[in-house]
């Protein structure tokens, strides 16, 4: 059911955990299936220098959490905000149709973490 | 380490016992006669069919002519419920919120046809309330259909009490005994059961064969029209090979297996509870199917655990919303009032007579590790507030 890439990220997800004193936090929940995600970022000179994530959810939720950290790390805030759910899914070599909402959650979590940082620094 | 295969999804289906397969074999290329034919091959099939019927009837204290062979539990449930409904043409049917989909969907279908349906609540252990059942029965009630043992949480309903009540009130009583058959003693006379569904593939028989017990005096409308097979209640050339396999499976199921499965079930429950913190056993601790363990592991999601276990060669199932096609948690777990996140972390382990102590040890060892790792990456922990407003459309 899942692609090899999804399974790889699920078995050994990248950047899991939290960051002490993060610059931004994004907490999101999925009202469809009940999954939860928390995204933590560190920002230096407008660049995401570190990102960590905690996930309560299925294989797809964990894999997309892991993928979003890979995609966002080292990117400027503007670039990171542009990461779409389709990009997350594509980088994972596809997700089952019914699991597409998981990639939405990951992209939304990142977006919220960036917003949280930008609000604080305004 | 050697790759081990541990199958703990026997509630979904079981492996066909090789002894079952052996007795089935001659019924394909050698004894392939149609039991309606008048020649030797036909007579041989007919005799075997009737012998099988007697053996299965005896196991539940029924008469041979009270057994109708079908393609399995789903068909038996459909035949019983629609069969009674169509004889009465109108009326009220009582069932529960934790039935198998083949009962719930059939009742919902009949509701669209104008029948009134009551879905009884269950308590936190999954039991219906006998008082609520009694109060629900009206002059219009034509049928009560309550399952014997639940397929997800293993709770065993007091069918003798339900049967007694239905007899007093003069309404028909159907029970789905697909999960409990051979794992619990069932005497249809003693329990006042009018109709009962059985399936072969849950008891190490082949898939695609089962039976409906129908008390002689009860009338039902046939659902599959055609020939006069099965007391003219189910048309179609009988699946003799399947029926022979089903019968052998019944004969191979022994009381001592119940004892063995119960011991291993209890061991699995207590070892998990000892080794892994923050778990919750779903379903009744006492009145529980001998092979069913359903446990929620807090702070983690079931599909993830299931896939990690699968990578270790362990097959289980989950009631998590993530694993279902409609992204809703199991209706059974919702009916017993589990919070969404607790239902999310539920796993079902269903044992068989082939399960060993070594299997249990292997499962607990791996499970402990997997839960620990998934909890490390979960934002949830003790005393958290789960605040996702899950949109739960009602199922029933
Ligand atoms: C309680 C219960 N009823 C009915 C069925 C359906 O049986 P079958 O697969 O033989 O149609 C099942 C099995 O999935 C079951 O567990």
In a domain, B121, yes or no: yes
Contact B303 A59 (CB under 8 A): yes
pLDDT value of position B359: 98
The DSSP secondary structure of chain A, one letter per residue, reads: ---HHHHHHHHS-SSBS--SS-SEEEEEE-TTT--EEEEEEEEETTEEEEEEEEEES-HHHHHHHHHHHHHHTT-BHHHHHT--HHHHHHHTT---GGGHHHHHHHHHHHHHHHHHHHHHH-
pLDDT value of position B321: 81
- pLDDT band (50, 70, 90) for residue A121: confident
Same domain, B63 and B43: yes
Dump pLDDT digits (tens) for B271-283.
999 999 999 999 9
B72 torsion bin: left (phi>0), alpha (psi -120 to 50), beta (else): left
pLDDT value of position A61: 95
User: What angle, rounded to 10 degrees, do the helices at A59-72 and A100-121 form?
Assistant: 40
In a domain, B1, yes or no: no
Same domain, B373 and B384: yes
Task: Measure B61 CA to ligand 1 centroid, in angstroms.
Answer: 22
In a domain, B220, yes or no: yes
Task: Measure B310 CA to ligand 1 centroid, in angstroms.
Answer: 23
Same domain, B186 and B205: yes
- pLDDT band (50, 70, 90) for residue B4: confident
The interface predicted TM-score (ipTM) is 0.95
Same domain, B311 and B234: no
Same domain, B242 and B258: no
For chain B, where are the alpha helices, taking DSSP H only? 18-24, 26-29, 40-59, 73-88, 101-112, 130-136, 159-169, 229-232, 240-252, 255-275, 302-311, 331-335, 340-344, 357-376
Dump pLDDT digits (tens) for A80-106.
999 999 999 999 999 999 898 888 899
In a domain, B177, yes or no: yes
- Per the CB < 8 A criterion, the answer to whether B260 and B249 are in contact is no
> Measured from the CB, is residue B294 less than 6 Å from ligand 1?
no
The total of structural domains in chain B comes to: 2
CA nearest to B174, candidates B102, B93, B80, B91: B80
Contact A38 B389 (CB under 8 A): no
Helix or strand run (H / E) with residue B69: strand B67-70
Same domain, B275 and B366: yes
Same domain, B57 and B200: yes
In a domain, B367, yes or no: yes
Mean of the per-residue pLDDT values for chain B? 96
Dump pLDDT digits (tens) for B111-130.
999 999 999 999 999 999 99
Domain closes at, from B194, B218, B252: B252
Looking at per-residue pLDDT, the higher value among A104 and A45 belongs to: A45
pLDDT value of position B204: 98
- Pairing type for strands B292-297 and B346-350 reads antiparallel
End-to-end CA distance of chain B: 47
What does the pLDDT average to over B204-226? 98
Domain closes at, from B252, B272, B307: B252
- From CA B143, how far away is CA B293, in angstroms rounded? 31
Q: Which residues of B touch A2 (CB under 8 A)?
A: 307
> Mean pLDDT highest for which of A19-33, A100-114, B75-89?
B75-89
Task: Measure B201 CA to ligand 1 centroid, in angstroms.
Answer: 9
**How far, in Å, are B60, B109, B157, B380 from residue B146 at the CA level?**
17, 17, 8, 37
Q: Which residues of B touch A60 (CB under 8 A)?
A: 322
Cross-strand bridge partners of residue A50 = A42
Task: Residue B90: give its domain's CATH number.
Answer: 3.40.640.10
pLDDT value of position A73: 98
Q: Which residues of B touch A10 (CB under 8 A)?
A: 304, 307
**Where exactly are the structural domains of chain A?**
4-120
Same domain, B22 and B10: no
- Rg of chain A, C-alpha, whole Å: 13
- pLDDT band (50, 70, 90) for residue A30: confident
Contact B301 A98 (CB under 8 A): no
What count of other Cβ atoms lies within 10 Å of the Cβ of residue B5?
A: 10
CB proximity list for A19: less than 8 A, separation 6 or greater: A40, A41, A42, A50, A51, A52
Same domain, B200 and B291: no
Dump pLDDT digits (tens) for B221-257.
999 999 999 999 999 999 999 999 999 999 999 999 9
Provide the CB-side half-sphere exposure for B366 (13 A, CA). Answer: 23
Best substitution site from B76, B101, B102, B198 to test ligand 1's pocket, by max atoms within 8 Å of Cβ? B102
B2 φ/ψ angles, rounded to the nearest 5 degrees: -65, 140
Q: Please determine, for residue A112, whether its predicted confidence score (pLDDT) is greater than 70.
A: yes
The DSSP secondary structure of B98-150, one letter per residue, reads: T--HHHHHHHHHHHHTT-EEEEE-B-TTSPBPHHHHHHH--TTEEEEE--SB-
Task: Residue B267: give its domain's CATH number.
Answer: 3.90.1150.10
For the structural domain made of A4-120, what CATH number should be given? 3.90.1010.10
Dump pLDDT digits (tens) for B53-74.
999 999 999 999 999 999 999 9
Same domain, B215 and B300: no
**How far, in Å, are A11, B8, B142, B350, B352 from residue B366 at the CA level?**
14, 14, 50, 17, 20
CB burial of residue A120 (10 Å; 0-12, 13-18, 19+): exposed
Closest residue to A32, CB basis, from B323, B327, B379: B327
Same domain, B248 and B373: no
Dump pLDDT digits (tens) for A56-72.
999 999 999 999 999 99
Provide the CB-side half-sphere exposure for A83 (13 A, CA). Answer: 30
Closest residue to A55, CB basis, from B320, B344, B377: B377
Residue % of chain A over a pLDDT of 70? 100
Q: Which residues of A touch B300 (CB under 8 A)?
A: 56
Dump pLDDT digits (tens) for B145-198.
999 999 999 999 999 999 999 999 999 999 999 999 999 999 999 999 999 999
Best substitution site from B73, B106, B249 to test ligand 1's pocket, by max atoms within 8 Å of Cβ? B73
Domain closes at, from B224, B252, B280: B252
- From CA A70, how far away is CA A92, in angstroms rounded? 11
Closest residue to B391, CB basis, from A10, A31, A57: A31
Q: Please determine, for residue B390, whether its predicted confidence score (pLDDT) is greater than 80.
A: no
pLDDT value of position B1: 54
Same domain, B109 and B154: yes
Q: Which domain holds residue B384?
A: 6-14+254-395
Q: Please determine, for residue B385, whether its predicted confidence score (pLDDT) is greater than 80.
A: no
């Amino acid at each position: 059911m899942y692609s090899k890439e999804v399974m790889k990220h699920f078995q050994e997800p990248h950047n899991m955990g939290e960051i002490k004193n993060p610059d931004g936090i994004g907490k999101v929940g999925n009202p469809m299936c009940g999954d939860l995600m928390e995204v933590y970022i560190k920002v230096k000179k407008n660049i995401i220098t570190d990102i960590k994530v905690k996930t309560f959810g299925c294989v797809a939720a964990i894999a997309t959490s892991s993928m979003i950290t890979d995609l966002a790390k080292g990117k400027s805030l503007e670039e990171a905000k542009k990461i779409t759910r389709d990009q997350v899914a594509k980088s994972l070599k596809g997700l089952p149709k019914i699991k597409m909402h998981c990639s939405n959650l990951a992209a939304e979590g990142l977006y919220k973490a960036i917003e949280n940082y930008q609000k604080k620094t305004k | 380490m050697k790759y081990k295969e541990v199958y703990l999804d026997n509630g979904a289906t079981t492996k066909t016992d090789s002894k079952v397969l052996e007795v089935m074999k001659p019924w394909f290329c050698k004894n392939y006669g149609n039991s309606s034919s008048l020649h030797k091959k036909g007579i041989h099939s007919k005799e075997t069919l009737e012998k099988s019927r007697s053996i299965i009837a005896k196991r539940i204290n029924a008469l041979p002519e009270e057994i109708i062979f079908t393609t399995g539990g789903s068909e038996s449930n459909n035949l019983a419920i629609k069969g009674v409904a169509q004889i009465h043409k109108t009326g009220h049917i009582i069932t529960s919120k934790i039935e198998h989909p083949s009962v719930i969907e059939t009742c919902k279908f009949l509701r669209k046809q104008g029948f009134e349906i009551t879905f009884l609540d269950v308590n936190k252990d999954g039991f219906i309330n006998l008082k609520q059942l009694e109060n629900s029965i009206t002059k219009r009630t034509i049928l009560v259909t309550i399952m014997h043992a639940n397929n997800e949480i293993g709770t065993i309903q007091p069918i003798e009490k339900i049967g007694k009540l239905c007899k007093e009130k003069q309404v028909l009583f159907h029970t789905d005994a697909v999960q409990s058959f051979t794992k619990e003693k069932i005497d249809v006379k003693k329990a006042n059961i009018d109709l009962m569904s059985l399936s072969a593939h849950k008891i190490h028989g082949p898939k695609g064969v089962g039976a409906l017990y129908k008390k002689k005096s009860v009338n039902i409308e046939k659902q599959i029209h055609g020939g006069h097979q099965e007391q003219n209640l189910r048309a179609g050339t009988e699946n003799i090979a399947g029926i022979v396999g089903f019968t052998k499976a019944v004969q191979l199921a022994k009381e001592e297996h119940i004892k063995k499965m119960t011991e291993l079930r209890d061991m699995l429950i207590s070892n998990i509870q000892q080794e892994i913190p923050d778990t919750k056993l779903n379903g009744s601790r006492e009145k529980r199917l001998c092979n069913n363990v359903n446990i929620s592991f807090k702070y983690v999601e079931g599909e993830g655990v299931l896939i990690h276990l699968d990578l270790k060669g362990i097959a289980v199932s989950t009631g998590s919303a993530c694993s279902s096609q409609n992204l809703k948690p199991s209706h059974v777990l919702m009916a017993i009032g589990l919070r969404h996140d607790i239902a999310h972390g539920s796993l079902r382990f269903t044992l068989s007579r082939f399960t060993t102590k070594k299997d249990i040890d292997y499962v607990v060892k791996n499970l402990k590790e997997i839960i620990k790792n998934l909890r490390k990456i979960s934002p949830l922990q003790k005393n958290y507030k789960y605040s996702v407003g899950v949109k739960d459309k009602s199922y029933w």
